[in-house]
Chain A
Amino acid sequence: MTAASLGVPLPGAAAPSRGGSKKVLPGFNLTLGYTLLYLSLIVLIPLSALILKTFTLSWPQFWDAIASPRVLASYRLTFGASLVAATINAVFGLLVAWVLVRYSFPGKKIVDALVDLPFALPTAVAGISLTALLAGNGWIGQYLEPLGIKLAFNPNGVVIALIFIGLPFVVRTVQPVLEDSERELEEAAMCLGANRWQTFTQVIFPSVAPALLTGFAMAFARAIGEYGSVIFIAGNVPMVSEITPLVIIGKLEQYDYAGATAVAVVMLVMSFALLLVINALQGWQRRRSGN
C-alpha cells in the first residue's frame, strides 16, 4: 500500500524541525474548519435562534409560559417518571450487565445483542407496541386490569416506556467496566475473609459505581427529552399524564411560538446541566479506571 509512495523522495531531510510532530499530519485546518462550519450551521445557529426568540418575551410573559400550572405538572411528570425509570434501569441494568459478563448461559450472545434494541427500534414503534401490550385489552393488560392494575394511559405507562428506552445506557456503560475489573481484588477480599456479599458491596460495587452513575444520568437525560415512545402510552391527559415535550408541541399547534420556545429553553437548560454532569461523571470514571 505505502510501497507505491516509497518512490517519492523522503521529505524528512528537508523538514525544518522534528519537534513539531503534531504538525506532521496534514488536514488540521481543513477538518477543523469543516467541523466548525457544519456544527454552526446544523446545531449552533439554530440553537441560538431558540435563545434569541425568548428575548422577544418580557419576564412576566416568560414566567407565565414556563410556570403555568399545566406546564409545572408536566415538569413534575417528566422528571418524576424519568427519575423512577432511570432508577429501575440502574438496578436491572447492573443486573443484566453482571449476568452477561460473569455467567454463561445458552443464547447469551443473542441476549447481548438484544440489549441494544431500544437504540435501534424507532421510538414510535416501541410506543405503539408497548401500548398494544399494556392497554386494557392487550396481551398483558387484560390480565392486570381485573386486578385493578392500570399500566397504560396514565403515568405508569410513561415510566414503562422510559424504562424501555433507557435500559441500554446503563448496561452498556457498566458492562465494559465489569469486564475489565480485576478478579485478583475479589480473590484478595475472599482470602482476607470477606464473604461474597461483602466482596460485592465493598470491592466490586465501588469500582462500578462511577459507570453505574454515568449510565443512570444518561438514561435520565434521554428520558427527559423522550417523546415518540411516550405519547402513545401516556394517554396525554393535561395535568396528569402530559409530558413536557408534548406541552411544547401543544403550544406550537396553537401557534404560540413564544410560549413553546420558553418551555423549550427550560428543557434545553436542563439538558446542558445534565450534559455537564455526565461529562464530569465520565471524567471521574476515567480517573478511577486510569489509576
Chain B
Amino acid sequence: MSDLSKKRVVTTEAPWVRYTLTGVALAFIALFLVLPLAAVFAEALRKGLDAFVQALREPDAWSAIRLTLLTAAITVPLNLLFGVAAAWCIAKYEFRGKAFLTTLVDLPFSVSPVVAGLIYVLMFGAQGWFGPWLAAHDIKIIFAVPGIVLATIFVTFPFIARELIPLMQAQGNDEEQAAIVLGANGWQTFWHVTLPNIKWGLIYGVILCNARAMGEFGAVSVVSGHIRGQTNTMPLHVEILYNEYQSVAAFAVASLLALLALLTLLIKSVVQWRHEREMKAAADIPPERPPQLKEAL
C-alpha cells in the first residue's frame, strides 16, 4: 500500500478535485438513474399495498405478464442458438466477407424499433407481401402473437452473438484443435471445451437478451394492435393504463419490469465478478507446475 500511495502523489488530483468530480458524477447518477427508478416504486405504492396488489391481479395484467413470458421463452432460445452458431463461424474461421457478416449481425441494434416493427407489417400485414396468402389460409401474424415474437427476435437479434464473438476470438482455436486431434468429435469439443470457456459470456448475453425481450416497446407496439388480454405485452399494458390515467396500475406493472431490470443488473454483476475472479485465478496458475517439478527433482 505504501508503494501505491507514493504513486498516487504523482498521478492523481488534489483531494478537493477528486471529491468534486466524484460528487458531480454521483449527483448525475442519482438524478438520472436512481431517482427515476425510485419513482417507479413510489408511484406504484402511492395508494398503498392493496391498490398495488389489486392492479396486478387484473386479468388483463395477468395475460400481459403471460404473453411477455411466452415471448421471451421463444425469443431467447432462438437467439441463443443463432448467437452460438454465428460466433462459432465468425470467431473460429477465416473467410471472405467475415467483417461484412459481423456488421450485418449488428445491424438490428442500429435500426429504430419502430422501423423493426414496420418491416414485419410490410411483410405479413394485410397489404404486405404475404398478406393475401396469409389471409386466404387464415393465419394471423400481424396484430397477433407471432408478429410480437418476430419483432422481439429482431430487436434482440445481436445480443448473444455480440457477447460471444469477441470472447471466442480472444480465446482462439488451440484448445478446440487439441480436443479434435485427441479424437473428440465436433459436438464433444463444443460441449466439453468451448462451452465451459464461454459460459460467463453466454449467461451475460442471455440475461441482456431476456431483459430486452421482456421490455421491448417500440417494435412490439407497431405489430401488436394493442388488443387487450390478447396481444398486450407488459410494456404495452403499462402504456394503455398510463394513457387511461390509471397511474397506480400503470406503475404497478412497471414496477415488475423495474424489478426484472434490477434482477438483470444483479445477475450481470455477479457474472462479471465471478468471471474476473476466474480470470485472475487462471492468471495466477504458473505455466509449469512447481510441485511436480519438485517431485521430479
Contact = CB atoms under 8 A, between A and B. Distances in A.
B93 to A, nearest CB: 5
A7 B184 CA distance: 10
Contact of A123 (B11, B89, B181, B217): B217
Nearest to A3: B182
A223 B251 CA distance: 24
Interface in A123-167: 123-126, 128-130, 132-133, 139-140, 163-164, 167
A225 B118 CA distance: 13
A95 B176 contact: no
Contacts of A36: 101
A125 B254 contact: yes
B289 to A, nearest CB: 18
Contacts of B10: 186-187, 190-191
User: Interface centre among B122, B181, B212, by most A CB within 10 Å?
Assistant: B122
A50 B118 contact: yes
B110 interface: yes
B216 interface: yes
Interface in B176-202: 176-177, 179-186, 188-190, 192-193
A45 B128 CA distance: 13
A45 B123 contact: yes
Contacts of B90: 35
B119 A49 contact: yes
A148 B113 CA distance: 34
A261 B235 contact: no
Contacts of A128: 40, 238, 242, 250-251, 254
Nearest to A26: B186
7 contacts: A42-B157, A99-B25, A105-B26, A121-B257, A252-B121, A261-B122, A279-B103
Interface of B: 7, 10-14, 17-18, 21-22, 24-26, 28-29, 32-37, 39-40, 43, 81-82, 85-86, 88-90, 92-95, 101, 103-108, 110-115, 118-123, 125, 127-129, 150, 153-154, 157, 173, 176-177, 179-186, 188-190, 192-193, 208, 211-212, 214-218, 221-222, 234-236, 238-239, 242, 247, 250-251, 254, 257-258, 260-262, 264-266, 268-269
Given A122-B217, A129-B36, 7 more contacts: A9-B183, A11-B181, A35-B86, A116-B265, A125-B238, A183-B11, A190-B10
